[in-house]
Amino acid sequence: MGHGWEGVVLKLMRGRDFQFTVVGSERVTDRYHRVHFADGGMLAQAGVHPTMWVRVWFDNAGKPHQRAYTLVDPDPEAGTFSLEFALHDGPASDWARAAAPGDTVDATLQGTGFTAPAPLPPRIVAIGDPASLPAINSLLDALPDVPATIFFEAADGAAGLPLRLDPERHELRTVPRRDGGRQLVSEVKAALPALVGDPTTAYVWIACDTVTTRTLAAYIRKELALPKARVNALGYWRPAA
């Protein structure tokens, strides 16, 4: 399957293409699925960094469809990693549900990177949902000695989901998804002023739907005066119209 105009653009932006092979899979919950891969040589070529992600290509009625996923437990020596899928209706979730050992999928590595905040904050504030859960885990793994408060938006809470929390350092605040993310925005705005403290040393990481992410990032930068380097914000998905 070709990758269409998006694939051409990624090539022009020096994206590197790889083919992954499924070596296993497991259902974490009814709405969350993990697929294990051999990496096709990617990790040996590119190395590994926290929150590292790839664009994976799926077939959508004969048309290329790509989505970005954070690598879970990448092992460069073994050449393996996993991807986790928050299941819903769509070609990526359909593919993940049916994935079996020996299946292959194309992927493009482009645009990924990570810079640890310097100086390290006294506390990380991470705001996400099931789609960004692997990235949240990777962030917490990368900064294991820094306390963190995690606002986690999910329709059914976080029960059964593989959040890697240290009860001595990490506080989890679950928020139901209501009113297109407005409930999350309201609760975060009410709590953040007390959590961030000094804006020059605070660090807030946001990866929700695009509207929620933009709303919170604007609030944090304008109202709480955090410098741009102390806010990492990326919209992970677009709400249905």
CATH number of the domain enclosing 209: 3.40.50.80
- The length of the chain in residues reads 241
pLDDT of the residue at 106: 95
pLDDT of the residue at 177: 87
DSSP state of 47: -
Which tens digit of pLDDT belongs to each residue from 186-241? 999 999 999 999 999 999 999 999 999 999 999 999 999 999 999 999 887 776 65
- Please name the helix (run of DSSP H) or strand (run of DSSP E) that holds residue 222, with its range, or none: helix 210-222
* Torsional sign, CA 222, 224, 225, 226: negative
Residues 128 and 223 in one domain: yes
Residues 95 and 161 in one domain: no
Burial of 128 from C-beta contacts in 10 A (0-12 / 13-18 / 19+):
buried
Walking along the chain (241 residues) 10 residues at a time, the average pLDDT comes out as 52 74 95 96 94 94 90 97 93 95 95 87 96 94 96 85 94 91 94 94 94 95 95 80 51
Contact 194, 202 (CB under 8 A): no
* Helical packing angle, 182-196 and 210-222, nearest 10°: 30
Tokens encoding 42:
């990617």
What domain count does the chain have? 2
pLDDT of the residue at 13: 45
Residues 132 and 42 in one domain: no
